[in-house]
Amino acid sequence: MPYKIFKEIYSKVPRLCVDLIIKTKQGIIMSKRNISPEKGKWHFPGGTVLFGEKLRQTIKRVADEETGLKLKVLKIIGAVEYQPPSVHGHVISLAFWCEPISGQLRGSQQGKEIKYFKSIPTDTIKEQVVFLEKHKIL
């Protein structure tokens, strides 16, 4: 979809996304954004649910694109609502607890630097900090 149409649509309706909380013995996986919005901040791997895509398909696609991992989805943890409406509109993301089952961890064009964390890194997207603290994830 051309960016102009994407921006027009999501200026009028909420955008549904998924956030992947990938927890391992080394900690949770986060990447540093290379793109706007929130460029330079740590965040959960995540992305937009595409039209006609089931949530598990979105999770599989996002995990592959952003981490190189295949995941087992354990459960939905809750929702992250990004406010005020971001540059991409009003974003609501469903956060899923996942664990890696195979693959080699790597970054992506959106976030080349990817690491394990046992505590919340400085410069993490604020809504995700609130979510991690509320759910006592780290």
Q: Helices (DSSP H) in the chain: which residue ranges? A: 3-10, 55-67, 126-134
pLDDT band at residue 90 using 50, 70 and 90 as cut-offs: confident
57: which 2 tokens? 């398909």
Q: What is the pLDDT of residues 43-88, one digit of tens each?
A: 999 999 999 999 999 999 999 999 999 999 999 999 999 876 556 6
Q: What is the pLDDT of residues 106-136, one digit of tens each?
A: 999 989 999 999 999 999 999 999 999 999 9
User: Residue 86: its pLDDT value, please?
Assistant: 58
Q: Whole domain around residue 62: which residue ranges?
A: 3-134
User: Residue 54: its pLDDT value, please?
Assistant: 98
pTM of this prediction?
A: 0.91
Is pLDDT of 2 > 90? no
Distance of alpha carbon 51 from alpha carbon 42, whole angstroms = 27
Q: List the one residue out of 127, 108, 90 whose CA is nearest residue 32.
A: 108
Neighbours of 8 (CB within 10 A): 11
User: Residue 84: its pLDDT value, please?
Assistant: 63
CATH number of the domain that residue 74 is part of: 3.90.79.10
Q: What is the pLDDT of residues 19-42, one digit of tens each?
A: 999 999 999 999 999 988 889 999
User: Residue 17: its pLDDT value, please?
Assistant: 96
Structurally, the chain folds into a number of domains equal to 1
Question: Are the beta carbons of 34 and 125 closer than 8 angstroms?
Answer: no
